[in-house]
Chains A and B, each alone.
Chain A
Amino acid sequence: MLLRHTTEKEIDRKALTINPAKTCQPVGAMYAALGLHGCLPHSHGSQGCCSYHRSALTRHFKEPVMAATSSFSEGSSVFGGSSNLVTAIETIFTVYEPDIIAVHTTCLSETIGDDLTQIVSKAKEEGKVPDGKLVIHCNTPSYVGTHITGYSNQVSAFVKFFSTTTPKKRNVVNLVAGWMEPSDMREIKRIAKIMEARTILFPDMSGVLDSPLTGKFEMYPPGGTTVQELIATGDSKFTIGLGAYSTEDACVKLENKCKIKFEVMEIPIGLKATDRFITSLSRHANVPVPDELTKERGRLVDLIADNSKYFYGKRVALYGDPDTLIPLVEFLLTLDMRPVYIVTGTPGKHFDESMKELLSKKIPEAKYKSGERADMFQLHQWIKQEPVDLLIGNTYGKYIARDENIPFVRYGFPIADRPGHNYFPHVGYVGSTNLAIQLLEKLLDYQDRNCEEEKVEFQM
């Protein structure tokens, strides 16, 4: 057994987290900063933070993930990291030539209280920031919130530093992407395009973390939201935030700064969340929904109807990030599956309320938990108490799946052991169809492999 020490007997843990369903803020900030064209993320802290975050993102995307670090020593930890950051800014602009450096903090620089605004001004005063180059920054203390909080803080920093309102309003809808895959962002842009809606998507990792192999390494690939686009978000008509945890703060800041109304909705995973997204985009961009999308929807409905017997009543355990778990649970309900155990390490009321709303009537036996110690150890204990038919989550789930012999669908971050997630979307009708097929594949493969010989079906 891989997780041989996990038993069904729970104790009331108050301090120990075991097998977390979350990680820390800075990796989220680094990920979001990669969605800004020409940007080099910079980790203001120990070298290890930057190394760990780059490694985690690289294992997941199997793509170059470039970022620099302030390389703190004991001295900088005692006297402050100001000179490290000033040196770093000079070195980066000289050697690596990005257009923008996006600095984020770590638990180390936050604990010693480094003031980024002041340090960056100092660097500018000392002439370390060449003309036309930019340094933006955000605070991402690792001991507050999770990687999702860090992502949100970086996205908000884009608004803070760039969004500018001019008298000229444009008929454009801002789409703030929550933590999703580059493939998802590409799909959202495709949907907007066929709707002929004018949109600005930010951040946008498509074209950055799914770049082609050409024989040439591009440190700043052609993808990513441009600074000009980010500035222009201040003149848009409306903002749609996709995923409350990762985008609501940016939406609020954009409203405060540029008076742009907004709506925060779920990431469009599944039939209903996609319906809501398309409806909202159609309304706010003032464009009709093209037949093409209605047909895509119809194909998804067709697939579900054709296979409903395989979905019906299956008990599912999930873990991951709230912005994806909420629409995923909703989609599982659309499939008549039974999401019974759901955990996320990311704290917040919205998750608990959404789970209550979605599950209290339909799945009264469901258990869900968020925040500190809402971890995969607890989820596994619940599974030991009463098993499930399917497990959905990041690669760390494979250890549970193997021990308990449960079909396992990889979803979330990190997926370190399978490719494809940054190529094929899980959002929109097409993405949801892709997801439903993945669920089916795993369920049917399991049945084919585990049923008695005489029960093997040719046609399913």
Chain B
Amino acid sequence: MTDNNIDNKTATTGLVAELQEFRDEVITRYPKKVAKKRAKAIVLSDPETPPEILANVRTIPGIITQRGCTYAGCKGVVLGPTRDIVNITHGPIGCGFYSWLTRRNQTKPVDENDSNFITYCFSTDMQDSNIVFGGEEKLKQAIREAYELFHPKAIAVFSTCPVGLIGDDVHRVSRQMKEEIGNGINIFGFSCEGYRGVSQSAGHHIANNGLFKNLIGRDDEVRGSLKYRVNLLGEYNIGGDAFELERVFEKCGIHLIATFSGNSNIQKFENAHTADLNMVMCHRSINYVAEMMETAFGIPWIKVQPIGARSTAKMLRKIAQYFGAKELADKVEEVIAEEMIPVEKAREEALKRTKGKLAMLFVGGSRAHHYQDLFEELGMATVAAGYEFGHRDDYEGRRVIPTIQIDADSRNIEEITVAQDATRYKPRKTEDELKALEAEGMEFNEYHGLMAQMEKGMLVIDDLSHYEMEKLIEKYHPDVFCAGIKEKFCVQKMGIPLKQLHNYDAGGPYAGFKGAINFYKDIEMMVGASIWKELKAPWESEDYIEATFVY
């Protein structure tokens, strides 16, 4: 692959000045206080010295936001993809209903006896009497009934808004029921009431804490190959992404112990501490687990980005470098060489239609960054991007973490103190080995953030509002806009195709090598779809000449 093919600079020259203007213009519409806040959330990227961006702060009431709630981040995102936990939503029916099968977390039970509760929705369906008199008894009974019906290995309880307000203690109830049911069942609760944070992000953190406290490290048995044992963190198997990455790892002889949490089961979580390397994919939603596992068990973590074929290859080379085995490095190169043949073929085909086109990405907490790799491969420039629930470190890099002010909303979230495990802490690499790897260019505990990748002067907007989105599109007419379901049809009404990067428009996988091919094809199809040329009826066009009958 030559870099000439993917040089987008020419496509964006001239845009930069306009983008600056855009920021100044768009905020004039807001009430003063709102404008002040939004001005800090809209910045122009500089990969050398990323500017400070206002992120992970409350959305101003009334702003039409992409964001969801803490419950969605905890139950929906992090715990949702695990197939053998009975996830009971403690609350009125809605929250459980809306998070039922709506995130496309695929899972593949190993055989017909394996559990899979992902297709089910479990709820205590709280009624007004439960709000008035408390819902703990109903929750206990619901847990008993779930056990009687399904005999699961684990039950997790998720709190919704009213639960926190009326003071139901889901943790106590979980402990009591664990004792009552016995039989080795694991029952644990999450205080993930929707109002707890400013977005889904708080829910990720709460889920990470719960994973660490209740699941990770409960099973010490070392299974399978002792070589090249890794975990993949922050990969949720949307559209089968985890399946593709599992395939690639297996082909390379890399032993994947656990994925958090795509296509996962309880045993994988419990056994995850037997891996020798943690790879963080979605930094936002899972970096806490990586940190805690390093402190407790001595497993180093690196940031990976297996979205895009070149980025996937880069990840594999990093793994080989970490383990320092020639056998693995050779195998990885062999796999990359083989996989890249169809990838390049598909890319060249797609480039004919995609090269020079413009993309905008406003989604999630890592996808707005990762998918820029795929657009680069397609010769498309990302001229504006931002996260729905990212923090400053996701934009500016982890180096800013010590300078981030902890506000009231972050303080709400439990910080658990993790210490070295007395018996199981085992540094996977000596200090010298780590230093040597760092000298070779490997980076541990590091993420440089979205802005490090974006061209200087491109727009970066946190928590994009509907108004800003409309203005962006009116002004720049991108060839494809990436966001979620709520934005999808607004944008398409404007005649611009929208690629959903939460659910992939029922497509995917987009990770790994085969994923890249799928993405090239889908974007090529979108930007080239015939229907976008048919928005006006013939009689609505300017050169339509009205004919009249002459009698």
Contact = CB atoms under 8 A, between A and B. Distances in A.
Contacts of B69: 46-49, 51
Contacts of B518: none
Interface string A30-45: 0000000000001001
Nearest to B473: A217
Interface stretch (A66-74, A246-254, A256-264): A66-74
B26 to A, nearest CB: 11
A416 to B, nearest CB: 8
A14 interface: yes
B63 A143 contact: no
A45 B166 CA distance: 16
B93 A345 contact: yes
B130 interface: yes
A371 B65 CA distance: 34
Interface in A343-386: 345, 372-373, 377
A399 B165 contact: no
Interface string B441-483: 0000000000000000000000001110010000000000000
Contacts of A51: 65-69, 72, 486
Interface in B194-220: 194-196, 198-199
Instruction: Count chain A CB atoms within 10 A of each CB in B67, B93, B96 and give the residue with the most.
Output: B93
A55 B121 contact: no
B127 A108 contact: no
Given A20-B123, A55-B98, A71 B31 contact: no
Interface in B269-292: none
Interface in B465-514: 465-467, 470, 484-486, 488-495
A94 B138 CA distance: 45
Contacts of A218: 493
B67 A17 contact: no
B6 interface: no
A13 B302 CA distance: 47
Interface stretch (B146-154, B236-244, B249-257): B146-154
Given A18-B122, A71-B58, A143 B162 contact: yes
A146 B120 CA distance: 19
Contact of A46 (B31, B195, B465): B195
B498 to A, nearest CB: 11
Contacts of A146: 93
B52 interface: no
Interface in A49-79: 49, 51-56, 58-59, 62-77
Contact of B195 (A53, A77, A143): A77
Instruction: Count chain B CB atoms within 10 A of each CB in A3, A51, A58 and give the residue with the most.
Output: A51
A95 B467 contact: yes
A460 interface: no
A225 interface: no
Given A58-B489, A65-B486, A91-B61, A17 B98 contact: no
A23 interface: yes
A2 B68 contact: no
A96 interface: yes
Given A48-B72, A51-B69, A66-B64, A11 B162 contact: no
B339 interface: no
B504 to A, nearest CB: 14
B94 interface: yes
A15 B412 contact: no
Contacts of B31: 90-91, 94-95
B112 A47 contact: no
Instruction: Count chain A CB atoms within 10 A of each CB in B116, B138, B161, B196 and give the residue with the most.
Output: B161
A107 interface: yes
A5 interface: yes
Interface residues of B, number: 92
A63 B161 contact: no
Contact of B199 (A19, A47, A55): A47
A278 interface: no
B120 A19 contact: yes
A195 to B, nearest CB: 31
B417 to A, nearest CB: 22
A89 interface: yes
Given A5-B149, A48-B68, A75-B408, A111 B166 contact: yes
A3 to B, nearest CB: 6
A71 B60 contact: yes
A371 B342 CA distance: 55
Given A107-B91, A144-B127, A74 B161 contact: no
Given A52-B72, A58-B488, A11 B60 contact: no
B501 to A, nearest CB: 14
A141 interface: yes
A396 B100 contact: yes
Contacts of B102: 55, 59, 416
A142 B150 contact: no
Given A16-B146, A52-B72, A55-B486, A372 B127 contact: yes
A18 B93 CA distance: 10
B145 A11 contact: yes
A108 B165 contact: yes
Instruction: Count chain B CB atoms within 10 A of each CB in A18, A89, A213 and give the residue with the most.
Output: A18
A226 interface: no
A15 B535 contact: no
Interface in B339-379: none
A112 B116 contact: no
Contacts of B234: none
Interface string A170-205: 000000000000000000000000000000000000
A154 to B, nearest CB: 15
B162 A4 contact: no
B125 interface: yes
Instruction: Count chain A CB atoms within 10 A of each CB in B98, B408, B412 and give the residue with the most.
Output: B98
A3 B121 CA distance: 11
B148 A11 contact: yes
A24 B409 contact: no
A18 B194 contact: no
A16 B194 contact: no
Contact of A74 (B124, B195, B492): B195
26 contacts: A5-B120, A15-B138, A15-B140, A16-B88, A18-B149, A20-B97, A48-B71, A48-B72, A52-B95, A52-B99, A55-B484, A58-B486, A65-B486, A71-B58, A91-B60, A91-B61, A94-B31, A95-B467, A107-B92, A107-B162, A108-B161, A142-B92, A143-B162, A217-B491, A217-B494, A377-B120
Given A64-B489, A216-B493, 19 more contacts: A2-B119, A4-B112, A16-B122, A24-B94, A24-B97, A46-B70, A46-B194, A49-B69, A52-B72, A73-B198, A74-B412, A87-B60, A88-B61, A95-B29, A108-B161, A142-B93, A213-B493, A217-B490, A396-B100
List of 10 A-B pairs having minimum Cβ-Cβ separation, nearest first: A48-B69, A91-B62, A24-B94, A88-B62, A46-B194, A15-B141, A52-B98, A142-B92, A88-B61, A108-B161
